[in-house]
């Protein structure tokens, strides 16, 4: 495989993509909706920032033993949460639109045979087509992030170095999600004889892994985990409000008082709490294993870890009444490493299947 011939094929495919009417229409729709979502997110961020400022002023005016504990400052990454939901739908459609006829169109027009008559090999063709599609999706994602950052600057919201790094990671994760469905579309385009069939096959897989698979995971979790444990007849004593300090601010949490009989903790409630914890962890494990096959669920999990690490810390540590410190980006990504790996493995499997199928395909 010659690298220069590979780049020539990729350059041609990239040019065909970004100049096609279909790509431009879907990309324009994606950018318009993303811009609207970013605008709404900036408004919510400004409201949260005003609330944060008011809390600071109240804590300075009121003498309180907890006045040295600062409320948590909102992050501009909250702006990208609304963008994430639109990316799962329109981004997936854009990826499918790019890949579903890359090979099948060549079969229908019988141009693939004439293409192979030139001094270019099969692996250079299929790898060039894949590389051109990846470049087109990368261009679309870079354009969407550029518009988002420009809007932040227009509204005088300047990201810090850490926040800018988080934005880039969010863009990389979003691109990985787009590549998942582009790989599926490219595989179906190689397998099917006609573009219409390739599109139908791709949409069936899209619907199955985005909707049916998460539902199946929930059903499997309910079936294998069984019924939740029953609480004891005697309930615990009323709850008390406890304020807990952390480096990221203060939290107001409710914790149950120990149920004491004769100076010892109630063993029935302690056993119930342990059983409930085991039940929740078992149910979540079964659901998570099933969701690893869904690019939507993996993307949502990883993107949420990037945009809101505290939420992911609460999801993965539901029995911690208050974290000792605000979870960082690295820690949040460490919790979802399996979802990150799944986003990489999913398109890799389909790209490999495409390569093998194309190399063995009978072209007449």
Query: Per-residue DSSP letters for 251-315?
Result: EEEEEEPPPEETTEE-HHHHHHHHHHHHHHHHHHHHHHHHHTT-HHHHHHHHHHHHH-HHHHHHH
pLDDT score at 92: 85
pLDDT at position 336 is 85
Alpha helices in the chain (DSSP H): 3-19, 21-61, 79-86, 92-99, 104-109, 111-116, 122-154, 161-191, 195-207, 213-225, 267-291, 295-307, 309-316, 329-335, 337-360
Strands 260-261 and 249-256: unpaired
59, with CB counted inside 10 A (0-12, 13-18, 19+), is middle
Instruction: Give the pLDDT confidence score for residue 183 in this predicted structure.
Output: 94
Span 322-364, pLDDT tens digits: 444 556 777 778 888 888 999 999 999 999 999 998 888 876 6
Query: According to the model, what pLDDT value does residue 234 have?
Result: 58
C-alpha to C-alpha distance for 31 and 90, rounded to whole angstroms: 10
- pLDDT value at residue 242: 43
Distances from the Cα of 69 to the Cα of 35, 63, 225, 254, 322, angstroms:
36, 12, 41, 18, 14
Mark the ranges of the chain whose per-residue pLDDT is less than 70. 1-2, 59-72, 112-113, 115-118, 225, 233-266, 311-327, 363-364
Q: pLDDT per residue over 228-265, tens digit each?
A: 777 776 554 544 444 443 334 434 444 444 444 444 45
**What does the pLDDT read at residue 252?**
41
């Amino acid at each position: 495989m010659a690298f220069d011939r590979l780049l020539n094929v990729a350059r041609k495919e990239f040019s065909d993509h970004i100049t096609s009417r279909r790509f431009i229409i879907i990309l324009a729709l994606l950018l318009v909706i993303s811009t609207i979502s970013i605008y709404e997110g900036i408004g919510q961020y400004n409201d949260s920032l005003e609330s944060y400022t008011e809390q600071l002023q109240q804590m300075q005016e009121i003498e309180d033993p907890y006045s040295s504990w600062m409320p948590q400052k909102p992050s501009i990454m909250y702006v990208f949460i609304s963008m994430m939901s639109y990316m799962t739908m329109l981004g997936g459609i854009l990826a499918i639109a790019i890949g579903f006829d890359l090979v099948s169109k060549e079969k229908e027009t019988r141009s693939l045979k004439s293409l192979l008559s030139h001094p270019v090999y099969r692996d250079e063709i299929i790898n060039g087509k894949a590389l051109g599609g990846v470049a087109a999706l990368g261009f679309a994602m870079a354009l969407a992030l550029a518009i988002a950052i420009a809007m932040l600057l227009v509204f005088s919201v300047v990201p810090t170095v850490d926040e800018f790094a988080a934005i880039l990671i969010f863009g990389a994760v979003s691109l990985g999600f787009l590549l998942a469905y582009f790989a599926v579309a490219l595989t179906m385009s190689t397998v099917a004889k006609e573009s219409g069939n390739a599109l139908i096959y791709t949409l069936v897989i899209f619907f199955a892994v985005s909707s049916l698979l998460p539902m199946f995971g929930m059903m499997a979790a309910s079936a294998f985990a069984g019924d939740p444990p029953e609480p004891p007849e005697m309930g615990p004593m009323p709850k008390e409000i406890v304020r807990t300090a952390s480096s990221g601010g203060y939290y107001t949490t409710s914790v149950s008082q120990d149920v004491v009989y004769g100076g010892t903790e109630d063993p029935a409630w302690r056993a119930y709490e342990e059983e409930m914890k085991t039940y929740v962890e078992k149910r979540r494990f079964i659901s998570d294993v099933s969701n690893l096959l869904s690019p939507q669920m993996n993307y949502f999990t990883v993107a949420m870890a990037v945009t809101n690490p505290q939420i992911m810390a609460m999801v993965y540590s539901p029995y911690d009444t208050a974290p000792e410190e605000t979870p960082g980006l690295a820690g949040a990504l460490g919790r979802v490493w399996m979802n990150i790996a799944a986003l990489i493995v999913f398109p890799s499997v389909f790209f490999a299947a495409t390569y093998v199928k194309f190399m063995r395909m009978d072209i007449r």
